[in-house]
Every structure is written in C-alpha cells, then in structure tokens.
C-alpha cells in the first residue's frame, strides 16, 4: 500500500466526518454548500474526455487547478478564522469553511484512490509517482 495514498485517505476521512457533523448541525443550506463544493471540482470533467481515462489537453489546466489544495485550504482557513473571530454562525462564515472542507475531502479522496493531477496529454499522474 502506498503510504501517501493512505495518508490522503485518512485526511479525507477526518474532514468528511467534520463536514457531515457541520451539515447535521446547520441543516439543508449546509448540505447544499457541501455538495456543491464537494462535487464542484469535477465540473472540469464534463465533456472533457478525449478517450477513455484521458482528458483533452485543453481541459488539463482547469482540471489541475480545481484539484490543487491551495484554494480549499485558503477557504477553510479564512472561514474558520473569521468564524472564531466573529464568534457566531449568523455571519455565514462557517459556510466558507464548510466549502473549503468539502472541496478538501473531494481532492483527498481522489488522491487516496490514486487519481493525481493530469499530465499535459490528459493522462493521470498516479499519486506517489516520481518523475
């Protein structure tokens, strides 16, 4: 078993549990946010396949951008810090953190299953692959 994939899976499991707990606590609006940001990164896949398992080269950049951890972590940090500074759910800042957490879960689960970034020709670069 690839240790990197195992660690991605553990991260995905922890943040998935957090996401579910927040959705249970906040209700339907939180579920909508979590689903939108949890499924959102795969919008790059709609109509993007050149052949089985390979994206069109024109869609690789969008796919790789949406599957980079930078944006979800920024959302998670900004939402969490703002939530704790303001001290309340009413401001809606917890939804920003929830969006980041759901996006993080999506990417971490992809990595756990071995789906890494895409190469310039559209093929998958396996997780743990060293060039």
| In the chain, where the domains are located | 3-112
Looking at residue 89, what is its pLDDT?
Answer: 59
Looking at residue 1, what is its pLDDT?
Answer: 57
CA atoms lying within 13 Å on the CB side of residue 34: 21
CB within 8 Å of 37: residues ≥ 6 apart: 72, 98, 99, 100, 102, 103, 106
Q: Kindly give the parts of the chain with pLDDT less than 50.
A: none
* pLDDT tens per residue across span 72-108: 999 999 988 888 888 765 667 889 999 999 999 999 9
């Amino acid at each position: 078993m690839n240790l990197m994939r195992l660690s991605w899976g553990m991260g995905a499991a922890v943040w998935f549990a957090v996401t579910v707990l927040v959705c249970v606590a906040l209700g339907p609006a939180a579920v909508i946010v979590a689903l939108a940001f949890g499924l959102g990164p795969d919008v790059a896949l709609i109509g993007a396949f050149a052949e089985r398992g390979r994206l069109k080269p024109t869609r690789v950049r969008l796919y790789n951008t949406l599957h980079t951890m930078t944006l979800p972590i920024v959302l998670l940090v900004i939402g969490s810090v703002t939530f704790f500074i303001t001290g309340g759910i009413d401001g809606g800042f917890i939804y920003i953190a929830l969006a980041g957490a759901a996006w993080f879960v999506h990417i971490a689960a992809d990595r756990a299953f071995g789906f890494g970034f895409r190469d310039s020709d559209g093929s998958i670069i396996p997780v743990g692959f060293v060039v």
